[in-house]
Structure 1
Amino acid sequence: MLRFDPFSDIDSVAKQLLGASAGSPRVPRFMPIDLYKSGDHYVLKADLPGVDPGSVDVDVDNGILTLRAERTAPSDQGVQWITSERFSGKYMRQLSLGEGIDTEGIAATYDNGVLTVTIPVAEKAKPRRIEIGRSSDGPQQVETGGRTEVTSGQ
C-alpha cells in the first residue's frame, strides 16, 4: 500500500533551495512504530531494518522516552551505483510518557530488525477495587490512591 505524502514535493523543493545536492547522503525520514497496551504494560515495536544492534539506544529522561539507532552506509569506494534507495544515517524518535508509567521497569530487546520496548504501568496508576464498609458509629476512613478521606457513616 502506498501512502500519499503531500509534503514530499515541498520537501524536495526546500532541499534544492537550501543547497542540498542530489548526491547528498540519504537519511532516514522516520522510524515506524506500533504501540499497544497489553494487560498492565504498554508494548512499543519499532522497525529498524539493517541497523547495527550496537547502535540502538533507549533512554528515559524527565518523562521522555528516546529511541536512537544508526544504519551505516556502505562504502562508495570502487562501486558504481545502479540504484540506491536504502536509507542510511541516524534514526531518532521521542515519545512523551504519562505520569502513570514505571520508568524504572522499562525493558527493551532488538531482534530481527525490530526494537521492542516494554513499558510497565506504575502500581499507583493501576485500577483497583475499594472495599466499602458499613459503620453506624460515625465517620469512617477510606484510603484512595495514597490519600485518606473521611466520610460520614450514613
Structure 2
Amino acid sequence: MTTVSSPLAGRVLPLEDVPDPVFADALVGPGGAVDPVRVPLEALAPLDGIVVSLLAHTFTVVDTAGRAVLTHLGIDTVQLAGEGFEPLVGKGDRVRRGQPLVRWDPAAVAASGRSPVCPVIALEASAADLTGLRTGRDVRAGDVLFSWN
C-alpha cells in the first residue's frame, strides 16, 4: 500500500468537480483534487520517490513500487508558460514526502481567470485501487489524501 499525501492545504474535492473534463472524467486516472488556500505556497511531494516529470505547473513522482502520482497545479495553467511557478527540484531528483517541489500562488492563478484547483492523480490505477479519499474536508499540506492498495 502507498499513502498519498496532499501536496497542498485546502478543501478536498471529488474529481468530477474539477473544471476540466480530462480530469473530471478520470481519463488520466483516479484520485482527488484540492482547492488550495489562496495564498502563495509550496506544492509538496505527495510521496517518497523520484521526480519523473516536471513542468512549472505539474509534476509526477514515482515511488519504489512504481506507483506514479501526478499533481497538476491549477487548470489551464500551461497557458501561463511557467509564469508564477518556481520549480524547486529537477527532473530525476529523489524527493521525500512533504518536500517542497514548486512554489506558486493560487490567488494569482485565479486572478488570471483560471481555476487553481489541483488534481492529484494515481496514474495507471483503477478507482478500486484507492481507499480513504474523503471529499468535502479541509486538509493541511502533508495530510493523508488517499491510500493506493
Category of TM-score, reference length = shorter chain: 0.3 to 0.5
Higher relative contact order (Cα pairs below 8 Å, separated by 6+ residues): 2
The TM-score normalised by the length of structure 2 is 0.33
